[in-house]
Structure 1
Amino acid sequence: MGVSRATDQAFDFHMPVVVVGAGAAGLTAALAARDAGAEVLLLERDPHPRGSTSMSQGYACAAGTKIQREQGIEDGSETFFADIMARTKGTADPVVARTVADNAGETIDWLVERHAIPFRLNISWAGFFGHSVNRMHGVPSRTGEELHGSLIRAAEEAGVTLVTGAHVDEVYADADGTVRGVRIQRRDGGVEKVGCDALVLTTCGFGANHEMVRKFIPSFGTAPYYRYFGHEGNDGEGIQWGVELGGALGCMDAYQGYGALAEPYGIIVNYDMVMQGAITVNTLGERFSNENADISAQALNILRQPDGIGWIIFDDERRALVEDLPEYRELASLGAVRTAETSDALAALIKVPADALRRTLDDVERLTKGEITCPFGRDFTRHPPLSGRLHALKTTGALFHTQGGLKVDAGARVLREDGTPLPNLLAGGGTACSISGNGVDGYLPAAGLATAITLGRLAGATAAGLAAA
């Protein structure tokens, strides 16, 4: 299994463009190829497309969109690029960073206007986690499932041939890396071989491949409380094919972490309430980080605490920010939200020392008044202190999505080590190197989907051009 150099391989049928993986990147690539006039076969291993897109909150960051302009937000590719490079301390692949900064806004506009994807600006993330302005585009429900469903609907309407339950397990190529086709393993045991003029790999990252995580992300893969929250199909298969075909890798230690995964439920806790004044304490009842410094690196901050556990503490005012969101409603229905009238009563419920939690909350109140300085550098003065009835959610940190992958050019063509492109191989989504630089702290919120749809669109257009040549 993998890559076969059988140049005389016979195929059952031929399609100009084959896309492997029906997440946001693959669906966007298929849409772009169809818009360019190419026939497209989109192959998905699972019986129902889901993956990282559906598991996300459905946000893509993009600059200079019509949606932003309609709301009076001034933003552009230069500001976005500067934010990317600042967040990654200059370690982001400059070609990919520039490509995403320049094209993400147009991609959002294209998806809205041509394919009726219902993007809108939902929340105010300006000034948080590296975004200097609000550029968070999401769908009305704030769920990846709605975004994924909208993209599938658009692909069907555009005439994309989507085949599910079709696992690509072999890629056929010439000695120079020119892809000739793929083999499909059906769930019923059937096998088909499909020839193609261009192949787009959008099979996601490698978060579910523990061997690859330990190799490329040792800071996380060897953590004492290693947790992965992502699709089990993210096994790095597409990345490995690209390497076998001669592709180079970039930023393989980069990943998106998340420090607010409800434990043991495996449900995302929406971070809006923390951004607006809620806090996170460990099992000792003490704060241990600047909760708003880095939403991705907060995963490691929590995993370093006793038992790898934290408690988000919030009041009714912060609860109101999220109580209508589907994730919070589900957590509330499961009994995950602990509620008490006093800090001592809450401490008893969550089994942390009452005196420590009381001191922590007293300190936070003084921080909001500017009487003392946060030892972790967080500014509390922009929001009122926690007051009245208190709530708590038990959380942990997790690896959500790897951000390293195959190096690509501005047209999403996979590059060799010498910087030249492979003849007809393209990559996007988690299969391609993203804009997160190195490590965990370079991730900009919504960068994953931004890169997915942007490189997906470019890959589809490029693939259509190669097929027509």
Structure 2
Amino acid sequence: MSGGRISRQTPDRIDAEADVVVIGAGACGLVAALRAKATGAEVMVLERDGSPSGSTSMSSGFVPAPATRFQRAIDVADDTPQRFEADIMAKSKGRSAPSLARLATQTIGPALEWLADTHGLEWIVLHDFLYPGHSRHRMHAVPEKTGAALEARLLAAVEAAEIPIVTEAHVTTLFAEAEDRITAVEITRPDGATEMLGCTALVLACNGFGGNAALVRQHIPEIADGLYYGHQGNTGDALVWGETLGARIEHLSGYQGHGSLAHPHGILISWALMMEGGIQVNADGVRFSNEHGGYSEQAVNVLKQPGGIAWNIYDARLHAFAKGFPDYREAMAAGAVKKAGDVRELGSVTGLSEAALDTTLGEVARYQSGQAADPFGREFTGKPALAAPLFAVKVTGALFHTQGGLMIDGEARVLREDGSPFANLFAGGGAACGVSGPDVSGYLSGNGLLTAVGFGFVAGDAAGKQASASLT
């Protein structure tokens, strides 16, 4: 069952219609649907899976946002969209699309507050750990602190708003009339049956192309042999539709990686362990990078090591801290977390050289005491020295989601190559170009859900208002 087709023909029938059709029921699509419904438009969400989950459910569920009342509640009163934008641009070394970074940082705070006020989503700000590259505590989460819980709360809001979600509905064809106005979409069911759905405006919220191995190898060869820790339905349909229509497409080499996926368990181990004092060693028991460079680019560093694996090494203080993350507790239950009373036992439980580990930990102790400087450039002196008992998790590098895609304007309208907008085509989340620039190192923690929620909010609002205006 293939997708990504554009038809210039008029559909032979229309089985149903909606003012705004949203493709994808992850965070982007659900937020877009809620916002479009608020404009008075009739909205329908199409989801290819039998049950909506997508990349949102697989994520940590953390959304960075500046200048919110939730920040002020924990005495973070000096964050601004401009400060957040500067952090984004610093992480990407100025290579993010400035217009998109500005749109995201100015929109995300109002979007989270609107979701709270209108749809009852609860937000807390994580303040016990400053995420890499962020100059303020601005990471928001629902109380459960998981992506699955965020998805569940958005689904509940959509249900309460009486917005239909049609599942097992894979959109395989867009019908485009004069000036590439999208008038209908074709849905292909698992049994091969098809349905035609008319629309006044269309929102692409079907993420990127991480689940399409051929496209990953074409655009991001450096991660092509790594694990894909994302939704398999992210096969690049939005990218293919955009290419066929002549859309402007940017930063296809950009992506979020992660250098700390428990192996072979496939469970995310929070990078907070590294930021708070942990280290990574390879199969030879030696460090190979500055672990504070960023978890996204660390995926490539880990994959370059023998066997494409590394070990996270940390102590009881950090183990207790990490137990506050649901993913870590899952890793503990799965047996991924190893405990050792001393270096000798650490070598035994990991299979690493005791001598190499002893040398590495001795070097780290000197860095932490300030007696020597880390040759990789990491600053160790701000955190307590590692102390027995020690803990270890075997990890690998992985691709989480792609960051390049369709360029959009300030109303999330998809743009043509010449910069003019398509008449009624909108995009957000992974379907749109993100704010991480063209390289893995440009990914700032939370950029994925930032553009999913922020651009979904903008796209739904603009699509709903356009559709409603066309009916008056």
TM-score tier, shorter chain, comes to: over 0.9
Shift of 1:416: 0.3
Structure 2 length as normaliser, TM-score?
0.96
How much is the aligned-residue C-alpha RMSD, in angstroms? Answer: 1.2
Deviations 1:18-73 (A, max 9, x none): 00000000000000001111110100000000110000000011111111122221
- Partner in structure 2 of residue 370 of structure 1: 370
- Partner in structure 1 of residue 354 of structure 2: 354
Which whole-Å CA distance do the structure 1 matches of 2:128 and 2:92 have between them? 22
C-alpha distance 50-56 of structure 1, shift in aligned 2 (>3 A):
same
What fraction of aligned residue pairs are identical, expressed as a percent?
45
- Partner in structure 2 of residue 178 of structure 1: 181
| 8 Å CA contact retained: 2:122, 2:143 | yes
- Partner in structure 2 of residue 464 of structure 1: 464
- Partner in structure 1 of residue 274 of structure 2: 274
C-alpha distance 66-324 of structure 1, shift in aligned 2 (>3 A):
closer
- Partner in structure 2 of residue 48 of structure 1: 51
- Partner in structure 2 of residue 196 of structure 1: 199
Letter in structure 1 aligned against 2:234 = N
Of 136-145 and 328-337, the range deviating more from structure 2: 328-337
Task: Provide structure 1 residue ranges, at least 5 long, that are not aligned to the other structure.
Answer: none
Shift of 1:325: 2.8
Q: Do residues 68 (structure 1) and 71 (structure 2) align?
A: yes
| 8 Å CA contact retained: 2:11, 2:184 | no
Deviations 1:400-431 (A, max 9, x none): 01000000001100000110000000001110
Letter in structure 2 aligned against 1:121 = V
- Partner in structure 2 of residue 401 of structure 1: 401
Of 143-152 and 68-77, the range deviating more from structure 2: 68-77
Which whole-Å CA distance do the structure 2 matches of 1:246 and 1:88 have between them? 27
| 8 Å CA contact retained: 1:252, 1:403 | yes
Deviations 1:368-387 (A, max 9, x none): 11110011111111111111
Shift of 1:175: 4.0
SS of alignment partner, residue 312 of structure 2:
strand
C-alpha distance 324-66 of structure 1, shift in aligned 2 (>3 A):
closer
| 8 Å CA contact retained: 1:125, 1:136 | no
C-alpha distance 415-124 of structure 1, shift in aligned 2 (>3 A):
farther
SS of alignment partner, residue 170 of structure 1:
strand
SS of alignment partner, residue 442 of structure 2:
coil
| 8 Å CA contact retained: 1:83, 1:131 | yes
Shift of 1:208: 1.1
Which whole-Å CA distance do the structure 1 matches of 2:278 and 2:129 have between them? 16
Which whole-Å CA distance do the structure 1 matches of 2:324 and 2:199 have between them? 46
- Partner in structure 1 of residue 345 of structure 2: 345
Which whole-Å CA distance do the structure 1 matches of 2:289 and 2:372 have between them? 16
Which whole-Å CA distance do the structure 2 matches of 1:406 and 1:107 have between them? 21
Which whole-Å CA distance do the structure 2 matches of 1:324 and 1:101 have between them? 28
- Partner in structure 2 of residue 313 of structure 1: 313
Q: Do residues 109 (structure 1) and 122 (structure 2) align?
A: no
Letter in structure 1 aligned against 2:397 = G
Task: Provide structure 2 residue ranges, at least 5 long, that are not aligned to the other structure.
Answer: none
SS of alignment partner, residue 230 of structure 2:
coil
Letter in structure 1 aligned against 2:101 = A
- Partner in structure 2 of residue 80 of structure 1: 84
Letter in structure 2 aligned against 1:209 = N
- Partner in structure 2 of residue 247 of structure 1: 247
- Partner in structure 1 of residue 61 of structure 2: 58
Letter in structure 2 aligned against 1:119 = W
Shift of 1:3: 0.7
Q: How does 1:313-332 map to 2 (within 5 A)?
A: 313-332=313-332
- Partner in structure 2 of residue 384 of structure 1: 384
Which whole-Å CA distance do the structure 2 matches of 1:235 and 1:125 have between them? 34
